[in-house]
Amino acid sequence: MESNHNHNHTEKLLEWLNRCEAIAESDLFVRSGHPEDQVLLLRATLLRAAADGVDWREILRSIYERWHTERPHFPDLDAMAAEIDYHLSRSNKT
């Protein structure tokens, strides 16, 4: 049973990672002149992953390591993590 739980957890993590990866790799936001929307969408997706019980920090770390040189408009890892922590703490108070 524990093995099945770990498999499901890994599957969920990969699903969320794939969603975030698709957002990060899209150059549509930059071409349209709204790279900030890419950051907002990525943050919202990470918040949804957190609500789904997934380790959003692991996803963020992976996305940042892969994309930070090609997406200079992405906040640095610590800044994005702080923003997400802030939003999570606010949502936990309501």
CA-CA distances (angstroms) from residue 60 to 3, 4, 81?
Answer: 25, 25, 8
Confidence category of residue 8, pLDDT binned at 50, 70, 90:
confident
pTM (2 d.p.): 0.88
Query: Encoding tokens for residue 22?
Result: 């698709």
Q: Which of 12, 75, 72 is nearest to 60 (CA)?
A: 75
pLDDT band per the 50, 70, 90 thresholds, residue 7: confident
User: What digits encode the pLDDT tens for the residues 38-89?
Assistant: 999 999 999 999 999 999 999 999 999 999 999 999 999 999 999 999 999 9
Q: Total domain count for the chain?
A: 1
Domain span at residue 32 reads 2-93
Position with higher pLDDT, 93 vs 14: 14
